[in-house]
Amino acid sequence: MLIPVGMLSFLLSVHSCEKVDDQSPVIKTIAITSMEDGSYKISGTLTLLGTEEITEHGVCWNESGLPDIHGPSTKLGPLSIAGEFSSIVPGLEGNKTYYFRAYVVANSVPIYGNEKAFITELGSDNRVSDVEGNIYRTVKIGEQTWMAENLKVTKYADGTPIPHVAAQEHWFELHREDLAYCWYDNLIALGYESGALYSWPAASRDLYGSDLNPSEIQGVCPDGWHLPSDSEWDQLEMYLGMDPEELDKQDWRGTDEGGKLKPAGTRDWLSPNTGATGETGFNAQPGGYRHGSGAFIGMGTTARYWTATKNGYSYGWYRQMDYDNSAIGRDFQGVYRGHSVRCVKDE
């Protein structure tokens, strides 16, 4: 059936007046830039304005992840055009990890951009580099200065390479005096996130070990730093509040001391990350470990750190923090296992 021209114009007119569904704004978090005065500029961009009225926009941040407008945030008011915007944020603590997102509020509902993380600027006293140029944050806890990241160097401070043992069968064949390091699951990207795993002889570069405080064993640590002894870990734990009578016990000790060493949230640690507060800045990283069989175990659930102290000829003492425990474990294992390393500054 033919439709008269007049009627067709009427139908088109009616169709053009139908209500178009509201389209939500699209927001993207861009970057953070440090300013000369010590503040930070956090930038976002509204890539799609949408059809909803934007009554507020800005940026938000926190130390645990997924920041929202109910925590620290800036408020820049209504927004009527798409494009980039930024906020100046002063007063952030140095040597800390923060998470941030750009946001808009449309129809009273907050809409967030993607999350990004950054570490605030370090002064020269708050970082150390190894022989390969890797830079590590550091933190002073009590009278000790610790690395705040797991070591990932593959050479000793004098330039001597540490043997890289990747294959499971080759790790299984390690003996009590063999030097070895690896990356978890043999993925270097994981290693650069969570550090390398070292056999005890590689970590200490020593056959006998030490329980002195300080240990006087440099091992795999940079010049001016050393592998902490069992006694030096005891010192840290007492500073965190552990009862001295528990120090020499084997297995889990204390109450919340491990939680003070773990960063809050579940970005790196699996849930529930029991007791984690991050208050010390130690930033224990759950890099897992390598079993004597060569199997990789525990990424995201456990952090295990060699001490410079041996228990007999074949075993080394280590410290442990887990995702479901707020205490600190103390135990010994075969020196051919692969554990993480944290170094302590020579004083």
pLDDT by residue, tens only, the chain of 347 residues: 444 444 433 333 334 334 445 689 999 999 888 776 667 889 999 999 989 999 999 999 999 999 999 999 988 999 999 999 998 887 777 778 899 999 999 999 999 999 998 888 765 567 899 999 998 989 899 999 999 999 999 999 999 999 999 999 999 999 999 999 999 999 998 888 899 999 999 999 999 999 999 999 999 999 999 999 999 999 999 999 999 999 999 999 999 999 999 998 888 899 999 999 888 989 999 999 999 999 999 999 999 999 999 999 999 999 999 999 999 999 999 999 999 999 999 98
Sign of CA dihedral 210, 321, 176, 190: negative
Nearest residue to 164 (alpha-carbon basis) of 196, 123, 204: 196
Whether domain 26-119 has CATH 1.10.600.10? no
| CATH code 2.60.40.10 region(s) in the chain | 26-119
| Model pLDDT, residue 40 | 84
Give the list of residues 6+ apart from residue 205 with CB closer than 8 angstroms, or none.
156, 179, 217, 218, 219, 220
Q: Any idea what DSSP says for residue 172?
A: H
- CA 140 vs. chain centroid, Å, equals 18
Residue 118 has a CB neighbour count (10 Å cut-off) of: 18
CA distance linking residue 258 with residue 74, whole number of Å:
34
Specify the pLDDT at position 270: 96
* C-alpha closest to that of 320 among 233, 239, 243, 229: 233
Helix (H) or strand (E) holding 119: strand 116-119
In 208-236, which positions are buried (b, 16+ CB within 10 angstroms) versus exposed (e)?
A: ebbeebbbebbbbbbeebbbbbbbbbbbb
Spell out the alpha helix ranges (H) of 195-344. 200-204, 230-239, 257-261
pLDDT at residue 53, as a whole number:
93
Kindly give, in sequence order, each residue whose CB lies less than 8 Å from that of residue 132, ignoring residues fewer than 6 positions away.
153, 154, 155
Contacting residues for 333 by C-beta, under 8 A, at least 6 apart: 315, 316, 318, 339
pTM assigned to the model: 0.69
Antiparallel, parallel or unpaired: β 40-48 and 83-89: antiparallel
Q: Letter for the amino acid at 281?
A: G
- Indicate the SS3 state at residue 168: helix
Quick one: residue 124, left, alpha or beta (phi over 0 = left, psi -120 to 50 = alpha)?
Answer: alpha
Per-residue pLDDT at 335: 98
| Cα–Cα distance measured from residue 307 to residue 211, given in angstroms and rounded to the nearest whole number | 9
